[in-house]
Structure formats: structure tokens, C-alpha cells
């Protein structure tokens, strides 16, 4: 009997990526919620280099870093493949997953911005990324998702980041993924978040808002 | 083997560890390719066409289809040409190899670059500390002659090519044999591996690259 455990933070886009992957493939797992301000000893044992989640433990073997974890899951459980089969398409997918992950630094900057100048700078950085995706990734009008008719790992990678962006939009009362600026991306996200398994596993917006407020207070000493 | 119908072109700048990663992979697999030298301070139209997002080398173009990001390219090469595998076939070992390669980029390359292109003593001190922290993990991880095994080189070795590039070619001592005995030996062995030796640049070429890199970084800072 195979044992899968996921150590993560319910609000992290990286943990979300792994969760969605497991859920989409129907893989049973034990979810272990970690407290970022009080992580279990195992996190430091399993991930001495980065000391962070998500961490997947499969039959006692730990794996870190969300992109590596999801590719591993896709290999071990190949039904409902989330990575493209064609090697060129797979290379493109890896490129865009990295691009999505790279958005996190601007998102983090925005989440922890303490004045309007920092805020504007961070939003502009996020817009730069969104612009690239808007211009480059939606040229095939037949495709509803990056994966075609169904979502794939690139949808998941961008989806987890955009979810966090929507939380920041509400929390800071700013518009980031504006329809006028990014019509295709905007439409894509509306479709993505309504995919049944994604919808069922989307962290609650209010809960995330409260958590963001709490984090900002803790890290900035203010809201 | 690449048949005459398959066209493989590689855009690069000699001296770039990212380029050399790809060259080692191509050489290991016996793939013939056309090499096009670019200019970091005056990027070619071809480069801008094939990598519009990052405008960086290396870029591999296979039958008119471009791929960028050195580790993505190396994985693509491994996926497409099956002889002399670069990544392990076991999914868990494969995931670990990907982890260490990513670690090279996240922690080691950045620290090494700062170390080499240091601006002042304080920065150099900090860079040395960061580099040593990162290298300690690598030192512990190295169990055989190479990261991939006793006689074969693999994905992690290839990702780490910047080490012999600096230690052996540029003769910039990143570390001593006293502090990092295994890495010290690995660097020499990897540099002397027939495939690697064939593609390594000369010391002069490497310094030309450092200069161009420093210039392009300075120009970026100004903007």
C-alpha cells in the first residue's frame, strides 16, 4: 500500500500546485499542515537546504521543490498526464512553469509592500510578467487552457500564482489582472478556477485575506 | 543520431557556463549541430527572434523550434535522443538529480558570479560565505567520482560545469582541496573528462566572456 504525505502551507501557491496535481490524479494522500512560524523538525530533516515546504514524502522518501515534486508525481502516476507527452511541448511547459514560479518574487514584494511607491513598483513587475504571457501564450484560439481542452501543469503553475494575485487585489484594493489590459489571461483564469477539482480545492478567499493581514502585521508591524 | 534531415543549431557565447552545459549534452549524445556565436552587448536578430522572453543564450533550435534555459534544453536533448542517457531512469533518482541541478542555479551559480565579479571587499566576503554554504551541501552530496556515478557523467555534473570553468580554466580558486577535498577532485576529473575537455574554452576566451558579462550587467544597472 503506497503512502503519500504532503507537508505544506494551505495558503502557499507552491503547496497548491502539488495539491492540485494530487487531486487531479485522484491520488490519496495525507495532508500535513505546517506552521511557517513553528515548522516541524521533519521539515529541516527533509529539506536542510531550503528549509521550506512543500515536501512530498512517498513511501518514506522525501522530495522538495514543487516543480520537481509535480513532475515526479506525473511520472509515478501517469494516468491523466499533466505534462505533455511530446518532448518539445514538454520543454515549453517546463519553460513556462519556471516563468510562472518566477512571478513569486514580485508577488512577495507586493504582499510586503509598506508604502505606495513599493506597491506601484511591485505591481509593475507583475504586469511585465502578465504582459509576456498575454502576448505569447494565447495565440492558439482553439485552446481553452494551456493544456488544450483540459488543464495541464502550466495551467496549474499560473493558476496558483494568479489565485494569490486575486487575494492581493482584494487586500490592497488594487487591480492587477485587469480585463482591459489582459483579456485572454483574464478569461483563462475565469475558466481555470471553475474547473470542478480546482474549484473544490481553491483556498477560501476570506481566509486568505485574513491570513495575509496577519502576515503583514507580523512581518511589517503594520497592516 | 541527428540525421541529415534534422537541423540542430545552438546560439551561444563562448565562456558561458550555460552554453557549455548544452554543448556537453550534445557531445555526449554525438549530435551534430551548427554553432552560432552571439554578442551579449549587441544581440543578434536571430537571438531576439528565438528567445523573445529572456533574450539570453543558450538557445537550441531543433527543426526550427527554439528552446531556451540551459537545463530545460539539456532535458529536452535527453528526452529526444535516447543514447547515453543524462538523467537517471528511476523516477526518484531523476527527481533528486533535478533538485541538485536546480540547486546549482538557485544557490551556487549566483554566489560564484558574485564572487568572481565582486565589486568591493565587503561584497566579496559575503559572496564567499554564500558560496561556501552552498558548496558544503555539494561536498556532502558527492559520493562517487562524479555526481552521476563512478565513471559516467550526468545531469548534476553538467549543471555544475561552472565550477571547473572557474577552478581549472580561469584558475580562480573558488575553494581549496583542504576545505573541499571531494569537490576539488571532482572539478579536475570532470574537466579532464574527454567530452568536457573538448568543449571547454581557453582562459583568454573565458576572460573575454567575463568582461562582456560585466559590461552588460553594468549597462543594465544604468538603465
Q: What is the CATH number of the domain that holds B121?
A: 1.20.1050.10
**CB contact B133 to A (< 8 Å):** no
Which residues are paired to A12 by β-bridges? none
Residues B127 and B188 in one domain: yes
Query: How far apart are the CA of B204 and the nearest CA of chain A, in angstroms?
Result: 33
* Helix and strand totals (H; E) in chain B: 11, 4
Residues B96 and B186 in one domain: yes
Q: Which domain holds residue B68?
A: 8-84
- pLDDT score of B148 more than 50: yes
Task: Determine the pLDDT at residue B140.
Answer: 94
Task: Determine the pLDDT at residue B166.
Answer: 93
Whether residues B69 and A95 touch (CB distance < 8 A) is answered with: yes
Tens place of pLDDT for every residue, chain A, 223 residues? 789 999 999 999 999 999 999 999 999 999 999 988 888 999 999 999 999 999 999 999 999 999 999 999 999 999 999 999 999 999 999 999 999 999 999 999 999 998 999 999 999 999 999 999 999 999 888 889 999 999 999 999 999 999 999 999 999 999 999 999 999 999 999 999 999 999 999 999 999 999 998 888 888 875 4
Instruction: Return the number of CB contacts < 8 Å for A and B.
Output: 58
User: Which single residue is written with the C-alpha cell 556515478?
Assistant: B149
Whether residues A75 and B52 touch (CB distance < 8 A) is answered with: no
Three-class DSSP category at B55: coil
Q: Where are the alpha helices (DSSP H) in B90-178?
A: 91-103, 110-116, 121-141, 155-159, 162-164
**Contacts of residue B69 in chain A, CB cutoff 8 Å?**
94-95, 98
Cα torsion at B112, B117, B122, B126 (round to 10°)? -10
Asked whether residue B15 is domain-assigned, the answer is: yes
Per residue in B151-170, pLDDT (tens digit) is 899 999 999 999 999 999 99
Three-class DSSP category at B6: coil
Task: Determine the pLDDT at residue B111.
Answer: 87
Whether residues A88 and B65 touch (CB distance < 8 A) is answered with: yes
Residues B63 and B154 in one domain: no
d(CA A36, CA B72): 31
| Residue A62 neighbours by CB distance under 10 Å | 17
Query: How far apart are the CA of A210 and the nearest CA of chain B, in angstroms?
Result: 31
Could you report the predicted ipTM of this complex, rounded to two decimals?
Answer: 0.93
Task: Determine the pLDDT at residue A219.
Answer: 82
**Contacts of residue A94 in chain B, CB cutoff 8 Å?**
69, 72, 75
Whether residues A72 and B79 touch (CB distance < 8 A) is answered with: no
User: Which single residue is written with the C-alpha cell 558574485?
Assistant: B114
d(CA A201, CA A188): 18
Asked whether residue B198 is domain-assigned, the answer is: no
**CB contact A130 to B (< 8 Å):** no
Whether residues B65 and A71 touch (CB distance < 8 A) is answered with: no
d(CA B219, CA B210): 14
Number of domain units in chain B: 2
- pLDDT score of B5 more than 60: no
Which residue on chain A is closest to B78 by alpha carbon?
A: A87
Q: What are phi and psi of B36, to 5 degrees?
A: -120, 115
Asked whether residue B220 is domain-assigned, the answer is: no
Task: Determine the pLDDT at residue B119.
Answer: 67
Asked whether residue B207 is domain-assigned, the answer is: no
Cα–Cα–Cα angle for A158, A57, B95, rounded to 5 degrees:
65
**CB contact A94 to B (< 8 Å):** yes
**Contacts of residue A61 in chain B, CB cutoff 8 Å?**
92
Task: Determine the pLDDT at residue B123.
Answer: 82
Three-class DSSP category at A80: coil
Whether residues A63 and B95 touch (CB distance < 8 A) is answered with: yes
**Contacts of residue B96 in chain A, CB cutoff 8 Å?**
63
Task: Determine the pLDDT at residue A223.
Answer: 47
Asked whether residue B218 is domain-assigned, the answer is: no
Whether residues B80 and A87 touch (CB distance < 8 A) is answered with: yes
Residues B30 and B72 in one domain: yes
Which residue on chain B is closest to A71 by alpha carbon?
A: B95
Asked whether residue B80 is domain-assigned, the answer is: yes
Whether residues B92 and A71 touch (CB distance < 8 A) is answered with: no
Whether residues A63 and B99 touch (CB distance < 8 A) is answered with: yes
* Least confidently predicted of B11-20, B80-89, B205-214: B205-214
Q: Which of A49, A61, A76 lies nearest to residue B137, judging by beta carbons?
A: A49
Asked whether residue B29 is domain-assigned, the answer is: yes
Residues B76 and B100 in one domain: no
**CB-hemisphere CA count at 13 Å for A9?**
17
Query: How far apart are the CA of A199 and the nearest CA of chain B, in angstroms?
Result: 29
Query: How far apart are the CA of A141 and the nearest CA of chain B, in angstroms?
Result: 20
User: Which of the two residues, B113 and A120, has the higher pLDDT score?
Assistant: A120
Residues B98 and B121 in one domain: yes
**CB contact B94 to A (< 8 Å):** yes
CATH of the domain at B49: 3.40.30.10
Residues B14 and B68 in one domain: yes
Q: What value does the mean pLDDT of chain B take? A: 92
Cα–Cα distances (Å) from A14 to A46, A114, A156, in that order, read 17, 24, 10
Q: Which of A49, A72, A95 lies nearest to residue B91, judging by beta carbons?
A: A72
Residues B74 and B108 in one domain: no
Q: Which of B84, B113, B145 is the last residue of a domain?
A: B84
Residues B76 and B99 in one domain: no
Q: Which of A69, A76, A91 lies nearest to residue B75, judging by beta carbons?
A: A91
Which residue on chain B is closest to A136 by alpha carbon?
A: B53
Amino acid at each position: 500500500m503506497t503512502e503519500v504525505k504532503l507537508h505544506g502551507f494551505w495558503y502557499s501557491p507552491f503547496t497548491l500546485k502539488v495539491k492540485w496535481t494530487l487531486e487531479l490524479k485522484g491520488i490519496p494522500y495525507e495532508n500535513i499542515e505546517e506552521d511557517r512560524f513553528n515548522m516541524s523538525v521533519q521539515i529541516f530533516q527533509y529539506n536542510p537546504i531550503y528549509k521550506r515546504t512543500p515536501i512530498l514524502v512517498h513511501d518514506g522518501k522525501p522530495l522538495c521543490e514543487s516543480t520537481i515534486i509535480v513532475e515526479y508525481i506525473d511520472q509515478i502516476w501517469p494516468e491523466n498526464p499533466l505534462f505533455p507527452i511530446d518532448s518539445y511541448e514538454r520543454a515549453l511547459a517546463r519553460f513556462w512553469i519556471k516563468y510562472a514560479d518566477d512571478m513569486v518574487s514580485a508577488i512577495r514584494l507586493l504582499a510586503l509592500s509598506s508604502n505606495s511607491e513599493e506597491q506601484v513598483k511591485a505591481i509593475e513587475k507583475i504586469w511585465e510578467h502578465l504582459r509576456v504571457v498575454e502576448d505569447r501564450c494565447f495565440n492558439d484560439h482553439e485552446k481553452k487552457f494551456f493544456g488544450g481542452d483540459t488543464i495541464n501543469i502550466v495551467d496549474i503553475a499560473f493558476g496558483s500564482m494568479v489565485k494569490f494575485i486575486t487575494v492581493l487585489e482584494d487586500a490592497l484594493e488594487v487591480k492587477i489582472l485587469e480585463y482591459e489590459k489582459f483579456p485572454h489571461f483574464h478569461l483563462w483564469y475565469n475558466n481555470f478556477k471553475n474547473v470542478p477539482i480546482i474549484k473544490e480545492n481553491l483556498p477560501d478567499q476570506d481566509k486568505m485575506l485574513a491570513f495575509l493581514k496577519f502576515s503583514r502585521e507580523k512581518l511589517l508591524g503594520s497592516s | 543520431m541527428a540525421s541529415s534531415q534534422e537541423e540542430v543549431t545552438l546560439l551561444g557565447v563562448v565562456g558561458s557556463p550555460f552554453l557549455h552545459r548544452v554543448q556537453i549534452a550534445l557531445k555526449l549524445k554525438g549530435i551534430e549541430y551548427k554553432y552560432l556565436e552571439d554578442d551579449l552587448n549587441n544581440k543578434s536578430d536571430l537571438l531576439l527572434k528565438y528567445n523573445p522572453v529572456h533574450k539570453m543564450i543558450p538557445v537550441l533550435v531543433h527543426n526550427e523550434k527554439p528552446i531556451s534555459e540551459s537545463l530545460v534544453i539539456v532535458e529536452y536533448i535527453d528526452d529526444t535522443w535516447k543514447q547515453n542517457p543524462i538523467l537517471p531512469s528511476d523516477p526518484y533518482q531523476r527527481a533528486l538529480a533535478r533538485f541538485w541541478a536546480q540547486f546549482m542555479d538557485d544557490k551556487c551559480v549566483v554566489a560564484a558570479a558574485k564572487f568572481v565579479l565582486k565589486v568591493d571587499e565587503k561584497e566579496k566576503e559575503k559572496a564567499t560565505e554564500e558560496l561556501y554554504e552552498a558548496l558544503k551541501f555539494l561536498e556532502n552530496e558527492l559520493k562517487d567520482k562524479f555526481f552521476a556515478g563512478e565513471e559516467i557523467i550526468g545531469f548534476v555534473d553538467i549543471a555544475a560545469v561552472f565550477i571547473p570553468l572557474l577552478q581549472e580554466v580561469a584558475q580562480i580558486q573558488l575553494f581549496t582541496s583542504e576545505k573541499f577535498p571531494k569537490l576539488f577532485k571532482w572539478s579536475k576529473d570532470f574537466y579532464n573528462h574527454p567530452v568536457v575537455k573538448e568543449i571547454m574554452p581557453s582562459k583568454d576566451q573565458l576572460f573575454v566572456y567575463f568582461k562582456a558579462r560585466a559590461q552588460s550587467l553594468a549597462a543594465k544597472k544604468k538603465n
